[in-house]
Structure 1
Amino acid sequence: MTSFDCIVIGSGNAGCCAAFSARESGCDKVLIVDVCPPEWVGGNGFFTAGAFRTVHEGLQDLLPIVNNVSAEQAGLIDMDPYPREEYLRDIMRLSNDKGDPVLAGALVDASRDTITWLATKVGLPFMFSFHRQAYDVGGRQKFWGGMVLCTDDGGKGLIAAHQRALAKAKVDVWFNCPALEITTENGAVSGVVVQKDGEKIHLRSRAVVLAAGGFESNPQLREKHLGPGWERAIPPPLEPARLATGLAAIALAVWCVGDADAPKDGGERILTNQFTKSGYPLGIMVNSAGKRFVDEGEDYRNYTYAKFGRAIQNQPGSYVFQVWDSKTIGMLRKEEYGDGIVKKIFADTLEDLAEKLAANGLEAKGEFVQTVNEFNEAVKSYQAENLDSAWNPAVKDGMSTQSSNKQLSLPKSNWALTIDKPPFMAVKVACGITFTFGGVAIDPDTAGVISEKTSTTIPGFFATGEMVGLFHGNYPGGSGLMAGAVFGRRAGQAAAKLK
């Protein structure tokens, strides 16, 4: 019978961190098993922007670990520190205080040290996320929303770097190898039964790490656990063999605002997160009835895309339209709104735009025009009363639709600009599922899985990534990869102690 010191189930960011950590911490034989073929390595991590949210003390703290800033460029960057209290507050406030405060605290406290470990030991190529988290304000790059780091080439670069690290550390990876059963002896984990080359094999190990993700790519499980209609949500483009895997007991998901024309069956792997459509703070969103339904300026994009994705799913037909005029079209991310990435609908008048949107699902042309006109009037009223206010997309600028003369029942609280300068542009968007929330309970120090029956950890059993019950309802962007790394590293360290 083949034996390993540690077996990790799943080849995404969390699983890779666990395997590398186990090897680094003293495990001689470490194995990753994954149901996918090698060309689909990486799970959901491949489809992310590679963003990592961490505590930091500002620009000088992070400059040594990034690869895309010269000394001259550094002098043109504005980056506020992101302290522990703010990070923890962001996690808890976005979850309406329903997230796990102990795990959240462990994540936050370990984040900065884990970033150093990822950069110096694992070899992740970190860079400042100018393209997603900064705006040019007066010739200076102003970062916003707390998150500033990502990996070079996004999720593709993240997973490629992990694969290089695992190869150098001599970690075995078996693809096309689903895990069928976790075995136990005397209440402790004893190994994993896998299917390899059509044969069931019992692999012995004192340590098993779950890092297999959730059920977001399975429409039947989405409908069962999230409710009717969620089978229509757009999943990440995972390889078909993975669709039935993951933890089926999870009942919440992370949503994103995605391209309504994205493949519904998980195709277009190479485009990764380019199907996301995060430019809504620069404009407005209207549903098929021509009405706005969220406060697009409620908070920074990386705090609202999950919440707004769910709101889109609940609209008639589960699609809406994002709308801008020429003042902000040029500020949209080319990765998400470039030619060939999304169908863009242009018009020189609002009436003409309404006609074109009607051919794409808008059911109330007159209501749409009225909504935009009323929005414009409210913005102008605010501007007339606040002549000293300045629009600034890099801060919560308070530029709103609410004044003493006119208030909208649904405000736009920040970044409100009139939509009145042609050409106008709209795109049709839908709800996509980024990953599933919820999961097993773990010990914050070891990532050991806690038994529901005994409320104690199960010897040799660990979990990390999307299989852990950390977030609830919403989360701050960049915390998912960070959590996978923090608890994956701890799982590997704890596994090595069992050797």
Structure 2
Amino acid sequence: MTTLSYDVIVVGGGNAALVAALSAHEAGARTAILEAAPKAYRGGNSRFASAAFRIVHNGMEDIEPLIHPDWKYLAKRARLVPFTKERYANEMLETSRGHCDKEAMHVMFDHSYDTVKWMRDQGVRWKLALSKFFSEDQITQDVVDINPGLCLIADNEGIGLTDNLWAAVEKSSIDAHYSSPAYDLITNGDNILGVRTRQKDGFVDFKGQVILACGGFEASPRLRRQYLGQGWDLAKVRGCRYNTGTMIENAISHGAQATGHWGGCHAVPVDHNAPAVGDLRLTDKTSRYSYPFAIMVNKDGQRFVNEGENTFELTYAAIGEQIAKQKEAVAFQIFDQKVLKTLEPRYSTATPVVDDTLEGLAQKLGLNVKQFVDTVREFNAAVPKTGQFDPFHLDGLSTGTKLAIPKTNWAQAIDQGPFVAYAVTCGITFTYGGLKTDPYAHVLNNEGEKMPGLWAVGEISGGFFAFNYPGAAGLVKGAVFGRLAGQAAARRAKDQNRA
């Protein structure tokens, strides 16, 4: 059996893994990356992401210096208020219903800005997320307010983010081993000595400090069915096929502590015809996030969710689960002509169903016609008669207490045909359960002690998100703790080398 020795071994090839590897290398460690995918498919789930980063900042004075020169002109078209730790904390506590590691959460807040600044210096090209969620021709004002929590995005999104980070890796002396899925930890009790990889003709051992950054179990139908429940084995996977939870199970078998919301996941509305597993030709272009400006009905023609509960990035990660509970795991987003201009540009990857009448639309969709028409009429009767529709802010246009399921913002009558519908289903992004770590990404054993030589960053670490998720927080979590883990692993390697 072949054995290779390094100071630091990073398992994974996405955002968290690449940041960890670059951080360890910067700290002087001989570093290797073990990527399960072949080179053509490297990048993990991050490659499929929108690549927005939810960071703490003081407004445009903080954000503008991060932006690549090619995109600085967009700053003149945007107003941006600060995004504070207090607001971020409230979002985290609300979306997780209090089930988040509060100490780790504040570590992420404290390091979020410096981490994206460091990533800029590594070659990541940042821009304002001005036209990600609205196309340029939809933005009619000279200057618009940008959501402060969703203002920063990588140029060319997930592909750009991972290409930039991989380019930095390739300029360094970091060794990348492709088609090298991690198979087992090499251990001596709680001490982690390295990783065994599975190759076509045998196994290769890599000795050194280990940083696990190889995702959750979202690509494993078996584990989805086991932990998420009935029907989840058939859910569409938005990202890569390689995040199967192998090293989560393996680390737990070696004594690592499991933690977090194992029955929960980040799951969103995607096009009903989206591929079963993420396709790099589409990346995240099958996502359907303009539902706050629609009503959403199931096959019976009934609404089942408050579409306007909050801005989409604070609800979308839980909407997928609600769709999964509906008959045939399908729903329909219904728009009229008044709001078509608010649709995200990525709706252009689908062919909508259109009809001049509600009855005709229901027939084309295969819905219970009477129930659907009654649902729309009941909704229309409940919308406010006054108030200004504002797609950029919570506008308070609410049905109030008139409906069993209210719509608390953006409630406008569906009354101007032709009417337009998009069929959607549930797409899983990542899972919430994972390995227990301390606030600096060291993996803890079942007794709550550090497992020397082992860190976990990104989706493989649990206890951070539950039930729901503030949009764009996941990549920040991966990058912040990836950078910290890389530094810590390099320090431990140096100490051992001196000893």
Q: TM-score under structure 1 normalisation?
A: 0.92
The alpha carbon displacement at 1:196 in A equals 3.6
Is residue 179 from structure 1 mapped to residue 216 from structure 2 by the alignment?
no
Q: Counterpart in 2 of 1:3? A: 5
Aligned mate of 1:342, from 350, 357, 376: 350
Q: Counterpart in 1 of 2:125? A: 125
Is residue 282 from structure 1 mapped to residue 293 from structure 2 by the alignment?
yes
Classify 1:137/1:156 alpha carbon distance in 2 versus 1 (closer, same or farther; 3 Å): same
Is residue 193 from structure 1 mapped to residue 186 from structure 2 by the alignment?
no
CA distance in 2, matches of 1:146, 1:137: 22
Structure 1 contact 133–144 (Cα < 8 Å) conserved: no
Q: Counterpart in 2 of 1:255? A: 267
Structure 2 contact 79–145 (Cα < 8 Å) conserved: yes
Aligned mate of 2:482, from 488, 492, 499: 488
Classify 1:371/1:219 alpha carbon distance in 2 versus 1 (closer, same or farther; 3 Å): same
In the TM superposition, 1:417-496 aligns within 5 A as: 417-445=412-440, 447-453=441-447, 455-469=448-462, 470-496=464-490
Bigger shift: residues 477-486 or 224-233: 224-233
Kindly provide the CA deviation profile for residues 313-366 of structure 1, in whole angstroms up to 9, marking residues without a partner as x.
11122110001011111221122x10xx213101111111111111xxx2x111
Classify 1:26/1:267 alpha carbon distance in 2 versus 1 (closer, same or farther; 3 Å): closer
Unpaired segments of 5 or more residues in structure 1?
Answer: none
User: For residue 283 of structure 2, what is the amino acid of its counterpart?
Assistant: T
Q: Counterpart in 2 of 1:368? A: 372
Q: Counterpart in 2 of 1:302? A: 313
Q: Counterpart in 1 of 2:92? A: 91
Bigger shift: residues 166-175 or 481-490: 166-175
Structure 1 contact 215–246 (Cα < 8 Å) conserved: no
Is residue 55 from structure 1 mapped to residue 44 from structure 2 by the alignment?
no
The alpha carbon displacement at 1:74 in A equals 3.0
Is residue 357 from structure 1 mapped to residue 365 from structure 2 by the alignment?
yes
Unpaired segments of 5 or more residues in structure 2?
Answer: 250-257, 495-499
The alpha carbon displacement at 1:73 in A equals 4.4
Q: Secondary structure of 2:361's partner?
A: helix
Q: Secondary structure of 2:153's partner?
A: strand
Classify 1:30/1:73 alpha carbon distance in 2 versus 1 (closer, same or farther; 3 Å): closer
Kindly provide the CA deviation profile for residues 134-165 of structure 1, in whole angstroms up to 9, marking residues without a partner as x.
67364322212622111011111011011101
Classify 1:237/1:491 alpha carbon distance in 2 versus 1 (closer, same or farther; 3 Å): closer
Is residue 140 from structure 1 mapped to residue 143 from structure 2 by the alignment?
yes
Q: Secondary structure of 1:495's partner?
A: helix
Q: Counterpart in 1 of 2:229? A: 227
Q: Secondary structure of 1:31's partner?
A: strand
User: For residue 93 of structure 1, what is the amino acid of its counterpart?
Assistant: E
Aligned mate of 2:283, from 261, 267, 272: 272
User: For residue 261 of structure 1, what is the amino acid of its counterpart?
Assistant: N
Q: Secondary structure of 1:92's partner?
A: helix
Q: Counterpart in 1 of 2:171? A: 168
Q: Counterpart in 2 of 1:396? A: 394
Structure 2 contact 218–245 (Cα < 8 Å) conserved: no
Structure 1 contact 36–242 (Cα < 8 Å) conserved: no
The alpha carbon displacement at 1:242 in A equals 5.4
The alpha carbon displacement at 1:412 in A equals 0.7
Classify 1:244/1:87 alpha carbon distance in 2 versus 1 (closer, same or farther; 3 Å): closer
Kindly provide the CA deviation profile for residues 186-226 of structure 1, in whole angstroms up to 9, marking residues without a partner as x.
64221111234522122221x10001101111112111111
Q: Secondary structure of 2:132's partner?
A: helix
Classify 1:133/1:61 alpha carbon distance in 2 versus 1 (closer, same or farther; 3 Å): farther
Q: Secondary structure of 1:270's partner?
A: coil
Q: Counterpart in 1 of 2:382? A: 378
| Structure 1 ranges of 4+ moved more than 4 A | 68-73, 241-244
CA distance in 1, matches of 2:365, 2:12: 42
User: For residue 224 of structure 1, what is the amino acid of its counterpart?
Assistant: Q
Q: Secondary structure of 1:146's partner?
A: helix
Q: Counterpart in 2 of 1:13? A: 15
Classify 1:172/1:423 alpha carbon distance in 2 versus 1 (closer, same or farther; 3 Å): same
Identity of paired residues, percent? 37
CA distance in 2, matches of 1:118, 1:93: 29
The alpha carbon displacement at 1:70 in A equals 6.5
Classify 1:245/1:40 alpha carbon distance in 2 versus 1 (closer, same or farther; 3 Å): farther
CA distance in 1, matches of 2:25, 2:73: 40
Q: TM-score under structure 2 normalisation?
A: 0.92
The alpha carbon displacement at 1:76 in A equals 3.0
* Number of residue pairs aligned between Structure 1 and Structure 2: 476
User: For residue 457 of structure 2, what is the amino acid of its counterpart?
Assistant: T
The alpha carbon displacement at 1:41 in A equals 0.4
User: For residue 181 of structure 2, what is the amino acid of its counterpart?
Assistant: P
CA distance in 1, matches of 2:365, 2:70: 42
Structure 2 contact 93–99 (Cα < 8 Å) conserved: yes
